[in-house]
Structure 1
Amino acid sequence: MRDLRTVNRARVLRTLYFDQPRSRQELAGLTGLSQASVSTVVGELITDGVVVEAGQVESDGGRPRVLLRVNPHHAAVVGVDVGETRVLVEVFDLTLERLAEATFPMSPDRQPADEVAARVLEGLHRCLAAIGPREVLGVGVGVPGVVEDGVVHAQTVGWHGVPLARMLREGTDLPLYLDNGANTLGQAEVWFGAGRGASDAVIALIGSGVGAGVIVGGALYRGVSGGAGEWGHTAVALDGRPCRCGALGCLEAYIGAYGVVDRYRSTTPGVPEDQEEALRALVSARTPEAERVLAETARYAGLGIANLINLFNPSRVVVGGWAGLLLGGRLLADVRAEVARHALRRPFEQTSIVLCELGPESVALGAATLPVAQFLATGGVRRPPRVERTGSASSTLR
């Protein structure tokens, strides 16, 4: 009976979270539960402070119906984006409205794990101090590379078996949820952005590096050890440009910000040292040199996305990441044309290629969904993981 009550609480809470406000009668129809069961569950959720009343709406001939919504003030969650150019820490309320943030620039050529952990903890303490006393469900962290039980393997930044969860545990006792940044971006876009409603999609993250979150049948595909989605390290040129992973011809070397800016610098003097400023300068330039670099980038991006379409047959490809949004704003039409040249005709016809709707900070937002997903799965009962999780609560995205 206890398990059944948890299942019913989770069903009602999840339904309300993604489709609010709703009345008890509407929740019964949406969840398939009896009105008596819904009333019991809602009563418990209101008593626990998870759900609150949100006004009334007129009904057809009867008493006005009371509307319900998730209480945004019930708890806070933290999302962290460990990027290659910055560490971003953000605190959100339970409905993922931003409350506080802290940003720490990082050199893309130097990311010592202990320095990254220190920045995350500093940002965490600074943001929590800014919002005052409040219950926190947990801290989600999006990182580059493969995550296994709190240990990060990120070859491009020189992290080989870095025990990041253990390092963070030295400065906080909050529940920790670590996952690949492309996966957290994917969850944010599927919950609230351009991926919403797509059960088969690929979320392509293009920053300094390149990755992808692959959603199959509504669930995130992880592979045997969480390493699925390393799209940036698929080869697109034999004996091609050197990649930071040590191989030659990786897609990342052609469309990641690191590789794009490097090609631009080789043809143009006076390019800004900062990677993001350099990419902005390239996108806004109209010189022949800039046009050649952008045209080559569009060709390889189109080839890479065509490979995703041929492999996974998604209904949607969502391009995000700070560099993906900068490049996509100018090149998306060219990229689509290149995809059409390389993808099989029928899968291409079934796929839409769109830009991320949640902006360049969606990795941190997606990381914050990891503790929220755990909270929804338990029906609003706080049962923090005893050990660090690898985003396992996000395996089923809805």
Structure 2
Amino acid sequence: MTRPNGRTVRDLRRENRTAVLRRLYFDGPLSRFSLGPATGLSSGSISNVVAELVAEGLVEEAGSVDSAGGRPRILLRVAPDSGRMIGVDVGETRVRVELFDLTLTELARAERPLTASGQDTGRYEVGIVVDHIRDAIAEVLRTAEVPAESLLGVGIGVPGIVERTAEAGAVVHGQTIGWDAVPLERLLREAVDLPAGVPYRIDNGARTLGQAEMWFGAGRGATSAVVVLFGSGVGACVTTDPSGPGRALEWGHLKVQVRGRRCRCGAQGCLEAYAGAGALLERWREAGGPSPAGADEETALAALASAAYPEDGGTPDPAAVAVLAETAEYLGAGFADLVNLFQPERILVGGWAGLLLGPRFLAEVERHARAYALAYPAARVTLGMGTLGPDAVTVGAAILPLADFFARGGRRESPAPPEAPPAWTRSLRDRTTR
């Protein structure tokens, strides 16, 4: 049956299930009585939907609360064991894989370090990354003794732009790591031993970080926010709908200096060429700083931070101080562009380099941002740190299949039946073959 607005009864039932699941997930445990005002559904619809979800094992009782003069009200919550998700962070220093239950409690994790396939090129062999993901997925399932059939999906955050194609699924354009139209989803399906019905959801790492902070971190309660991923490179995600997905921005390749420093992407003057962790270390070495030889990027950046902000009360390294002061201004200018373009309520900083340096020089970044931005939107934005730590990208990646699961009303993905082409395509084909 189709209603006048084009929505079928099946669509309405799915939307009602989605509304109940989301409210229980974010605000539960809740009683049936409380679910009505929270979802806008009638008591009859709530009863029907809850009965379905309980029968399917998606919702369970979680105690009771006293009511005003009546029987105690039974509290309901999403059942943690009713589904599992895997989140994968393909970073620029490691691959991190985590297995979660439906309430995003971590069940197991595995990490694999990444080594550049050429000295200081920052370019990674696709086959190595696929092997790391395959082995780590098998490890977390084995460690937690979880059958692969229980997975709602595998979410993966990657550096670069993700294109979705009908032939190969998600294709990654990661210019800074040497990935040119890499059919990552197809490669994973060929290499990873998972049931065919387990979906892959591949997206930009900054977008998965933004999704995590908006759902569970420092973005909760904001109507709009920009979440910045500050690591080897820099990226951002802008969100204008707290419950919906954000939009990934290649913010690191915004131009901040005409004919400036050469960026990893090949262009000149990108923000990333001044503010990415690799660029900071390169500029420190150029200034004569004692960057530790042979150290990985995270260790070297920690050494730079310690040199600029010595905890033992020693004399700060002038080169480190100068590099971080210049970086704060470039980041401030980049933040000002975000303020002027999107006028967000909040700007939040995450990523491993952001978590390391942000608490020490975010106030200086903010001072420059407010000086460079237009006064009206600058007065209405707050700058702060993300709260989910270094695992935020894997959490956000796991949210990708979880969000799809909720959007389907708590039903697992099933292959869509082939759709017949519109009648006009056949008519045109007949005309062209005459």
Query: What TM-score range do you get, normalising by the shorter chain?
Result: over 0.9
- Cα contact 1:315–1:351 (8 A) shared by 2: yes
Structure 2 unaligned residues grouped into runs of 5+: 1-8, 117-121, 165-169, 308-315, 418-434
- Cα contact 1:265–1:271 (8 A) shared by 2: no
Structure 1 unaligned residues grouped into runs of 5+: 223-227, 388-398
**What is the letter of the counterpart of residue 196 of structure 1?**
R
Structure-2 residue corresponding to 1:137: 152
Which protein has greater RCO, CA pairs closer than 8 Å, 6+ apart?
1
Structure-1 residue corresponding to 2:141: 128
Q: How large is the Cα RMSD of the aligned pairs?
A: 1.4
Q: CA deviation at 1:270?
A: 4.4
3-state SS, counterpart of residue 81 of structure 2: coil
CA 385–344 in structure 1, closer or farther in 2 if over 3 Å, else same: farther
Identity rate, percent: 53
- Cα contact 1:21–1:54 (8 A) shared by 2: yes
Structure-1 residue corresponding to 2:297: 275
- 1:34-84: per-residue Cα shift (whole Å, max 9, x none)? 111101111110110001100011111110000011001111100000000
**What is the letter of the counterpart of residue 283 of structure 1?**
A
Q: CA deviation at 1:15?
A: 1.2
Query: Separation in 1 of the partners of 2:416 and 2:335?
Result: 39
Structure-2 residue corresponding to 1:347: 377
1:190 to 197, 201, 214: 214
- Cα contact 1:214–1:220 (8 A) shared by 2: no
Structure-2 residue corresponding to 1:151: 171
Count of aligned pairs between the two proteins: 382
Mapping of residues 189-208 of structure 1, within 5 Å: 189-208=213-232
- 1:102-156: per-residue Cα shift (whole Å, max 9, x none)? 1111125241111101101111010011111341100000001011121000100
CA 367–385 in structure 1, closer or farther in 2 if over 3 Å, else same: farther
1:265 aligns with 2:285: yes
Query: Separation in 2 of the partners of 1:133 and 1:14?
Result: 25
- 1:310-354: per-residue Cα shift (whole Å, max 9, x none)? 111001111111111111011111011111110111101100111
Query: Separation in 1 of the partners of 2:92 and 2:158?
Result: 9
1:230 to 246, 250, 256: 250
**What is the letter of the counterpart of residue 322 of structure 1?**
W
Query: Separation in 1 of the partners of 2:46 and 2:378?
Result: 43
Q: State the TM-score, normalizing by the size of structure 2.
A: 0.86
Q: Which of these two proteins has the greater Rg computed from alpha carbons?
A: 2
1:312 aligns with 2:330: no
CA 139–385 in structure 1, closer or farther in 2 if over 3 Å, else same: farther
1:211 aligns with 2:226: no
1:298 aligns with 2:328: yes
Q: State the TM-score, normalizing by the size of structure 1.
A: 0.93
Mapping of residues 72-111 of structure 1, within 5 Å: 72-108=80-116, 109-111=122-124
Structure-1 residue corresponding to 2:180: 160
3-state SS, counterpart of residue 39 of structure 1: helix
**What is the letter of the counterpart of residue 63 of structure 1?**
R
Query: Separation in 2 of the partners of 1:268 and 1:332?
Result: 22
Query: Separation in 2 of the partners of 1:347 and 1:105?
Result: 41
- Cα contact 2:123–2:176 (8 A) shared by 1: no
**What is the letter of the counterpart of residue 90 of structure 1?**
E
1:59 aligns with 2:59: no
3-state SS, counterpart of residue 360 of structure 1: helix
**What is the letter of the counterpart of residue 123 of structure 1?**
A
Query: Separation in 2 of the partners of 1:384 and 1:265?
Result: 54
3-state SS, counterpart of residue 242 of structure 1: coil
- 1:212-260: per-residue Cα shift (whole Å, max 9, x none)? 11112444454xxxxx500000000111111000001100011111111
